[in-house]
Structure 1
């Protein structure tokens, strides 16, 4: 279950944007998550006020005579590319009631044409560059800013073209009246629809959390205001607020800064400010005494969420002492976050998800926010009391010295990792930091300064300081309590007074937190196995090791990330070897056993033992394989290997954990009744798997029949024979360093040499054309998937052609389906598998007006038929070839690419050396080959799956 957007609505994000049909939450990229200051700053060497942090000397900043600010930094990650950003210090908060939605509207109009770029030219140019076209992908609007961003090749011609486009967005949008009318109708309809259930909840809660101008200025605006917009209205707002003294240009990339500075002067120096200049309005969010409680429900919202939000004055890092305070806050977040997250990992967990942190927030304020998801109304009291107890425990008793020292070490390790990787920081990260500096004056002293400051000062932080910080941040003043739930649960929810009563009760009778001591996972190392064979593949820099128990290991040493080793393993089998009767038990096995601890340690102990470590080992059992996935920093590799060994040799079963999973699953069944997306996808999966019993939605009867003993037995059976397993290690190690760990912890695993494999259960959709329509929810847009599928000869020649078809369909559908035809957000995804049998899927997903579904489907199929009949546009084929080649070159420097690719080629019995020949094989992709591929795979086996609003 993905809670990310909903649960982090307040706690993790700082800005509400309009990156989609309605307001979304967009996380700031200004700084690494570990701290509030930026990893890369920028500053020219010039005098600063006493104690004020100077700007990173690697960044050139300046201001043109017209007031436009610029930031320039040379950076070769990625090589030959540059990130260009236009930041406008104007967002929705400055709109009047009659202008609500206008800032976002102007952002959309920027893609409808400018003085030097027509809409079609914009589309062609951005697509050619590999930038997604559209106002929701290359730009965003928040309360306080509107940002446009593109990535361009770093040669002089393309850089100048990119700056010209940003200058056109900065001052030369044309506001064609016909385009204005079309766009305002689209945005008015989106505002009227109210968006998703999440969005509609925001409309209820924002005025409470943002009790100011911010609370009534969602960037999406209002239908009534948007309908009044004219070209003159938009141009007036644009002229008034899109002006050089409120704008910044950020350029980071593989270029000569002096040359780029001259380009900025030439492209932006002629821009003029309006006369007279209107002062930019400034809004803040006033503090509210005491606690405000809000219980809200929404039809279609699938979760029960409890949130505590404590608002604090905004803090901006400007001085060294501010950095020290940001380190304290980082440590606070680690400790309190771990305590809340631990509540999800204990047997009979009172919450299914939990997070807690202090962070920057919208409305010129910071918040300490704690959020928890519960098992519906029945688990709410326990959840509220558990979360409140932990917060109150921290407020009253503070933290332990051992917690503090672990957090210090963890923070220092993260900083050291960032410092070690400072030459690999992507340009986009720097650009986000400089954007943030322009908007808030947040310091950007640079990674060298920050690293040295951390090393020299983190040891000074005392437990008394941390306890005082906890007492200040965790308070019942200026506090908001939110309870959000499905509308169907309204009658089962507590009142606001009951919520406060539960919280008061939870604050009584508390004792200080006890931090358990750590011990290794294994008291003694197992008897080491032996390396039977070691062969080096010099073509791709891989060592292939076979141990004397039959275990096979693929080693790929790299220096791409100093603090990363990726770990994976697989063996054929999976749940295909479980009977239909035992499938539910088998399907839960890895989740439950993987959260029941290992060896002699229960999960609660394991969680605490890992507090000062940075690794993860997770067992899995898929449809046709079982294995593990994980990662480790080099210093924790032995601990990771011990845990991995124990999952094979001494897994634990815990009845409380099993019961907790079953209870959560039952609660999930209840929630899914209200979630249109879940019901829709359940239907799609049922069809795709031929209505096989194990592909049908889970029932309470199946959960009641499931058994921990069967799950545990199935898990042990799947991991009983290590000789069938292949392990892959990718990252910062040498072969000589890692072989002793492999011999000890993998060479000692049991092996029976049974050469087991998976079963082909024939889970495939019926042949021919199938239409399934689900009526659920109230969204006025229909969700549609056209799924072409069939048998497939899995090989690289076919794979590369399907990859090309995917890219070209995406380009064509976005370009051909003009706005105003009732079709939105087309997206094409291709997948193909070899096991248990060769199958492919081409899924074309899009939204359509609910009253226009038949026409929309016919239009989409018509566009597909054009490619089948006429072939692709040649430039689209060449674009795919160029983009795929660029991507592969970039992937060669990513651990994740090698980890996944080496694992996959091993499973599919492919030659891994061919990973290097992909770029040469792109020559096989031609206009004719794509036409042939379209005709071969976009045939009569077609599933049309449609989600419609409920009939009234």
Structure 2
């Protein structure tokens, strides 16, 4: 690999002189001292400083994940700074930094990083907002050359984009396609209400995506002018967190970034804001493709910020406030007859220095008045009567418990978490004193927070001025929507009602109606190579244990039992496939849903029941101290389910209401078509509908649930995380070894529902926007093996690389083409490869042909070795980190069990990855992409029909 020089010799000499005259210590001291005693200190674990040119840096050593480092370059320059002629160019400039810099011309940057194992889009990325543009680059840190190049890339991004004319012109089409993808009902409505909500401020006219006219026709000097004005060191910060030597990294930053220059006669960086007018506003917007009626009340307030100890206390009060409000809304939705499809309220950031207290309700069809009154009644009750001591106690318990869990896990905090903290510290001044400091502060302040603090906050937030009321609805409901006077009348009627204090649900009994009886252990087998322990219980349930040290405060678990919904007839399918979700939503044991929610408050565990076509099981997580609570709930779900006719009726009504206007959405209509075609029009593969909901029977769902979960025979549970194998066994013996079993296992049925063979094309004409969606699907029988799996994955990746190069970079016809692959061993050995992209309707045929041309090249010529190397680097680098996570091991063990495959050490898979060659990919492309089984599914706007 050719080594790219970091800088020229003359520049290096000058920098050496600069650094020798101004020591690193002096540069660190150049960071402004905190002038307010009450301001919270920056976490001392992060090294920070400011160069003479104004660039700020933050460096922290962190080994989670090991041998990795994350670079962020933050610029206090976003779309808000654009002139009328520059609208969209802050975001355009973000793209251009990937299309050519001083040391990485044209596409060299992406090519180089892919060779190092960095995935474009997934790892290598950036974003542009109103007030900032931020670049992210995760890299291996165990290769000095890659690390050095990473620093060079950040330096190039800071001020050395080439902004080549040809690259600018090619990127116009890419960004217009990105803009096209965002078009639809939500975008059309937002453009109507955005100026109102943002009080006609500059933010309303500076959406980062920009305008079509600017993106198509701007002159290169216009974007260069923006770059020169705003990409400057006194508006930039470099954040580096990872498994690196902090001292060496600091020296590298000083050498690399000290020569950055601020422009002469630099422009003032105006801090824009949204003015508070004191006025109330009302707006109704409708759209043909809107699928429900939503009313939102936005009450604006000056932003709080989070810099001082006092701010921290106020922020804590807000967190408690939001928690308690959310609990009340959740209880409303758990009623037998929910007054709305969904709703919520809370305090949060808005934009331009403002915070908001927001209330929203997604109403049942024709019941906007009922939905609004229900949620405003709760809002008014909070304002008038406040919260109860029981609510506050639970909220405090939950907040403190989460903080304690974070403290226990602090030594295994991911680098991304630190990077995001320092990013907000630089951009907004948000305090980042470190979790231990915050925990100490919380323990001091939390006892002193009382009901009066919460109730005063409620009165201040739920004010009657600076209030916007926004209604969004389908076009067909436009004539029936209320005007401002009617909505205010509804709210006034609620406010005149006599309110009663909220009633806390007191739980005076245990979760379980009967205690479990411990089972018997039949055998214990250890695998020292994989560090696994397999326990076989007398009830024919197996448990696989994988203790790890990846996280200090995490245990993950899951189970699978053969069978699933495949065991039931088509007439029972809807009841069977929804049984796990419906029955578990009623609570378990002695607790109904509200009681169960209160029981879970402040606890750090979760359990979810699930049923797929081929298996039944559970998934969950817990901190080690609460594993028994999790297992108790698991046991309750398995053995003591509840049945509630009223809650079932409410759940069905809400589900139907959510589907009432589904046909309005072009995305939903196309999605349902995809389901139907790829599912060979089998009833079990079609999309959701009201008629399918009508097929769900409470009695049948309950019976099926008891059948599947009432017999644990053949189940395999997997536990991964921080636990002691011997210490955990008594809990497993009690709650899993004691599960009921009937000494019989019914394997899943092969329903023989496969993607149909042959070539087929289906066009769907729906929607008004000038955009298309294309899905190309190859499928068929597959020779399943680990080797073939990796070769097929390599095929998918090299095809993705070529589609990015051709459809995006060369033809400027798409934004993000993607290829995905799925291979299955059971019930049949089959595969599917799907290519997906959005584009202009006029380009559909051309881009499909380009895609097929690239597939043909893979068949006739095979992939280039360089692209195989990129795939291999990505896979191996990804494998290095993922095998150090509990999530990967849980998924791997569970997957191997369900596929009836042996468990092997990760090194075996690494050998298979290294063995894949271009010829292997060529052969598998020849075999499976021969064009005999290709389905083309295309979504086009309605106006294309007449063309």
TM-score of the pair, normalised by structure 2: 0.92
Measure, in 2, the Cα distance between the counterparts of 1:702 and 1:49: 63
Counterpart Cα distance in 1 of 2:488 and 2:720? 50
Match of 2:928 in 1: 937
Give the CA deviation at 1:914: 4.2
Which position in structure 2 is the counterpart of 1:521? 511
Could you say if the C-alpha distance between residues 736 and 381 of structure 1 is closer, same or farther in structure 2, counting changes exceeding 3 Å? farther
Cα deviation code 1:219-250 (max 9, x no counterpart): 11222333441111111121111111111111
Deviation, structure 1 residue 652: 1.6
1:306 counterpart SS class: strand
Matching residue within 274, 280, 294 for 1:285: 274
* 1:2-81 correspondence to structure 2 within 5 Å: 49-81=36-68
Report the Cα offset of residue 845 of structure 1: 0.8
Match of 1:181 among 169, 186, 191: 169
Judged with a 3 Å threshold, the aligned counterparts in structure 2 of structure 1 residues 244 and 702 are, in CA distance, closer, same or farther, namely: closer
Instruction: Identify the match of residue 198 of structure 1 among 182, 186, 189.
Output: 186
What does residue 836 of structure 1 align with? Answer: 827
Match of 1:588, SS state, is: helix
1:703 aligns with 2:690: no
The farther-off stretch of 291-300 and 679-688 is: 291-300
Match of 1:3 in 2: none
How far apart, CA to CA, are the structure 1 residues paired with 2:31 and 2:273?
31
Cα deviations by residue, 1:812-867 (Å, 9 ceiling, x for unpaired): 22123325442331101111222222221111111222012111111101111111
Once the two structures are TM-superposed, the CA of residue 539 in structure 1 deviates from its matched residue by: 1.9
Go from structure 1 to structure 2 and tell me whether the alpha carbon gap of 1:598 and 1:193 turns closer, same or farther (over 3 Å shift): closer
1:233-248 superposed matches below 5 A:
233-248=222-237
Partner secondary structure for residue 825 of structure 1 = coil
Asked whether the equivalents of residues 291 and 665 of structure 2 are also in contact (C-alpha less than 8 Å), the reply is yes
Provide the residue aligned with 2:759 in structure 1: 769
Deviation of residue 290 (structure 1)? 5.0
The one of 331, 343, 352 equivalent to 2:320 is 331
Corresponding residue for 2:196?
208
Partner of 1:845: 836
Which of residues 718, 721, 725 in structure 2 aligns to 1:735? 725
Q: Distance in 2 between matches of 1:326 and 1:193?
A: 37
Counterpart position of 1:946? 938
On the 8 A contact 1:783/1:946 being kept in 2, the answer is yes
In 1, Cα distance between the equivalents of 2:522 and 2:482?
65
Instruction: Determine if contact 2:172/2:812 at 8 Å carries over to the other structure.
Output: no
Which consecutive residues of structure 1, in runs of 5 or more, have no partner in the other structure?
1-41
- Give the Å deviation of 1:911: 1.2
Give the alignment's Cα RMSD to 1 decimal.
Answer: 2.4
Structure 1 residue 948: deviation in Å?
A: 0.9
* Counterpart-to-counterpart distance in 2, 1:116 and 1:290: 53
Residue 442 (str. 1) matches residue 434 (str. 2): no
**Closer/same/farther in 2, CA of residues 564 and 500 from structure 1, 3 Å limit:** farther
Question: Which SS does the other structure have where 1:567 is aligned?
Answer: strand
Alpha-carbon spacing, 1:483–1:637, altered in 2? closer, same or farther (3 Å)? farther
1:760 positional shift: 1.0
Alignment partners' CA distance in 1, 2:578 and 2:766 = 29
C-alpha displacement of 1:477? 2.6
Alignment of 1:543-622 (within 5 A): 543-622=533-612
8 Å Cα contact 2:554/2:621 also seen in 1? yes
Q: CA deviation at 1:697?
A: 3.7
Three-state SS of the structure 2 residue aligned to 1:511 is coil
Deviations 1:794-817 (A, max 9, x none): 332222222222222222221233
| Structure 2 counterparts to residues 77-476 of structure 1, below 5 A | 77-133=64-120, 138-154=125-141, 155-184=143-172, 186-187=174-175, 195-211=183-199, 212-375=201-364, 377-476=365-464
CA distance in 1, matches of 2:177, 2:935: 29
Q: State the partner residue of 1:857.
A: 848
- 1:51 and 1:719 mapped to 2: Cα distance? 56
Assess, with a 3 A threshold, how the Cα gap between structure 1 residues 944 and 214 changes in structure 2: closer, same or farther. same
Give 1:950 deviation, angstroms: 1.1
Q: Residue 613 of structure 2 aligns to a residue in which SS? A: coil
Q: Which moved more, 1:592-601 or 1:500-509?
A: 500-509
Q: Indicate the residue corresponding to 1:541 in structure 2.
A: 531
Match of 2:16 in 1: none
Q: Please list the CA deviations of residues 375-407 of structure 1 after superposition, one character each: whole Å capped at 9, or x if unmatched.
A: 3x3232222122212222222222222222222
Q: Distance in 1 between matches of 2:695 and 2:775?
A: 34
Distance 1:692 1:135 in 2: 35
Counterpart-to-counterpart distance in 2, 1:189 and 1:801: 31
Corresponding residue of 2:895:
904
Contact kept, 8 Å, 2:114 with 2:874, in 1: the verdict is no
Does residue 506 in structure 1 map to residue 506 in structure 2?
A: no
Distance in 2 between residues matched to 1:79 and 1:701, nearest whole Å: 52
Counterpart in 1 of 2:768? Answer: 778
Matched, 1:671 2:658: no
Deviation of 1:949 after TM superposition, in Å, equals 1.0
- Per the alignment, do residues 188 and 632 of structure 1 end up closer, same or farther by CA in structure 2, a change over 3 Å counting? closer
Q: Distance in 2 between matches of 1:468 and 1:888?
A: 52
Which string of whole-angstrom CA distances, capped at 9 and with x for unpartnered residues, describes residues 357-382 of structure 1?
A: 3223321112223333333x323222
Q: Is 1:924 paired with 2:915?
A: yes
Question: Tell me, what secondary structure is at the counterpart of 1:533?
Answer: strand
Offset, 1:523: 5.2
2:361/2:371 contact within 8 Å kept:
yes
Taking a change above 3 Å as real, the CA distance of residues 660 and 471 of structure 1, as seen in their structure-2 partners, is same
* Residues 1:276 and 1:784: Cα distance change in structure 2 (over 3 Å): same
Q: Note the C-alpha offset of 1:188.
A: 5.3
Match of 2:613 among 604, 618, 623: 623
Label 1:379 to 1:596 Cα distance change in 2 as closer, same or farther (>3 A): farther
Q: Deviations over 1:725-784 (max 9, x none)?
A: 222222232223322222222222221112211111110122111111111112322111
- The residue that corresponds to 1:20 in the other structure is none
Aligned to 1:714: 704
Q: Contact 1:43–1:56 (CA<8 Å) still a contact in 2?
A: no
Tell me the SS of whatever aligns to 2:591. Answer: coil
Q: 3-state SS of the aligned residue for 2:52?
A: coil
- Tell me the secondary structure at the aligned position of residue 502 of structure 1: helix
CA 1:161–1:538 in structure 2 vs 1: closer, same or farther (change >3 Å)?
A: same
**Unaligned residue ranges in structure 2 (runs of 5+):** 1-28
Asked if the contact 1:290/1:476 (under 8 Å) is kept, the reply is no
Residues 1:194 and 1:64: Cα distance change in structure 2 (over 3 Å): same
1:693 is paired with a residue whose SS is coil
Given that 2:565 and 2:573 are in contact with CA atoms closer than 8 Å, whether structure 1 keeps it comes out as yes
Contact map agreement 2:72 2:240 (CA 8 A) in 1: yes
Cα distance, 1:675 vs structure 2: 1.4
Structure 1 window deviating more from structure 2 (430-439 vs 641-650): it is: 641-650
Structure 1 residues 537 and 501: CA distance shift in structure 2, 3 A: farther
Q: In the superposition, relative to structure 1, how do residues 45 and 418 fare at CA in structure 2: closer, same or farther (>3 Å)?
A: farther
Deviation digits for residues 889-911 of structure 1 (CA, Å, limit 9, x no counterpart): 21222111122211111111111
- Secondary structure at the counterpart of residue 772 of structure 1: strand
Structure 1 counterpart of 2:3: none
Deviation at 1:448, TM superposition (A): 2.6
Kept in 2, the 8 Å contact 1:785–1:944? The answer is yes
CA deviation profile, 1:583-626 (whole Å, cap 9, x unmatched):
22222222211211223332232223322323222222211111
Greater Cα offset, 898-907 or 647-656: 647-656
Change (3 A) 1:380 1:537: farther
C-alpha separation between the residues in 2 aligned to 1:605 and 1:914? 44
